[in-house]
A = this chain, B = another copy of it.
């Protein structure tokens, strides 16, 4: 942690894996799934296919507008499929694709991190806010 920065320029560190290129991609994905609802919807769909209002009730507070937009985004990125049953009243099922399910894994990793460290974060936050003026 001491002798580590002489003139690494743009070459980045060989051992670790956060090359600028990779960082950009992480950033893109995070901005994509880092909105208010995406991961919650994905989590809900992680339990199997769901209908529109099932998801809605599962999340409790999402507006139908945001649920529509979120599902459209996920569908666009190939993370969920949308299946319309031409019945009356209409029925639409949403389900994670293979790609969508593969996302559950890294997201759960981040979930573990969150659970382990959120107390520390909250503590740091309170401390910071107490000192700040």
Q: List B contacts of A112 (CB < 8 A).
A: 17, 106
Q: List B contacts of A58 (CB < 8 A).
A: 20
Residues A120 and B30 in contact, CB atoms below 8 Å apart: no
Residues A109 and B106 in contact, CB atoms below 8 Å apart: yes
Q: List B contacts of A36 (CB < 8 A).
A: 27, 31
A98: nearest chain-B partner, CB-CB:
B120
Binding site for B on A (CB under 8 A): 1, 4-5, 8, 12-13, 16-18, 20, 22-31, 33-37, 39-40, 43-44, 46-49, 58, 75-79, 99, 102-115, 117-118, 120-121, 123-125, 127-129
Query: Please, how many angstroms separate the alpha-carbon atoms of A80 and B28 in the complex?
Result: 22
- Please report whether the interface of chain A is mostly helix, strand, loop or mixed according to DSSP: helix
Residues B43 and A123 in contact, CB atoms below 8 Å apart: no
Given A77-B124, A78-B121, A128-B76, A30:B27 Cβ within 8 A: no
Given A47-B5, A99-B121, A18:B111 Cβ within 8 A: yes
Q: List B contacts of A104 (CB < 8 A).
A: 16, 18
